[in-house]
Amino acid sequence: MTGNNISTEPSGFSILEKNILFEDNHIIIINKLPSQIVQGDKTGDKPLSELVKDYIKVKYDKPGEVFLGVVHRLDRPVSGAVIFARTSKSLTRLNALLKDHEIRKTYWAVVKTKPPKENDTLLNFLRRDEARNKSFVTGENSKNAQKASLSYTLLAGSDNYYLLEVELHTGRHHQIRVQLSAMGCPIKGDLKYGYPRSNIDGSIHLHARKLEFIHPVTRQPVKVIAAAPNDPVWNYFSGISAKE
């Protein structure tokens, strides 16, 4: 699937619906395409949040402004599962789950260099440079340092790349990107954090693969798995994972 835009006319609903991982009266979870932005920014490109609002307005014949709360974000070149709240009540409760680390987030990352261990927990302190929109590993006592923790497991390898499964314990700016880079394993296509070449479409090979949490209203468990984008590298690793 290519392109940034999702039609919100009835004839185009099937395109958006292929990217819907979960939907009820309270929550909608979308498999974001690489290059889409979750919320509006200085580029002026229409964000995914507005596309989803248009979809809800037309599908459910909603009069007036549609409420849609952004629970969390993914960087523009990253793909995968993003949660939106359809009511203010669910937004408040989802924000609380996020703050209390009760939304389990699992990512896939493709790297060029084999990690030093097959599985490990990485603990760093990060400093964000707002002007450069970049984070750096720094000392624990450095000004504005924030603790960042994640665990990774080596899932598979090919002749050229390695697939890591990453579970976030904290949610810092560009956390997976900077921590894997600091380990010597920058993500494929991520020029900002040390990979030597960009991907043709401007994406990086980081994908929000799985989300697990207790629904804040129904109290039922929610688990979604987002298919990786359609490209040769992702297709190779998705095929291997499907066999396991």
Q: Which residues pair with 228 in a beta bridge?
A: none
Catalytic residues: 75
What are the C-alpha distances in Å from 166 to residues 7, 120, 206? 32, 10, 10
End-to-end CA distance of the chain: 25
Q: What is the helix, strand, coil percentage profile of the chain, to 5? A: 25, 30, 45
φ and ψ of 63, to 5 deg: -80, 150
Let me know if 136 is exposed, middle or buried by CB neighbors in 10 A (0-12, 13-18, 19+): middle
DSSP H helix total and E strand total for the chain: 5, 11
Other CB atoms within 10 Å distance of the CB of residue 110: 24
Indicate the burial class of 236 (C-beta count within 10 angstroms; 0-12, 13-18, 19 or more): middle
Q: How many residues appear in the chain?
A: 244
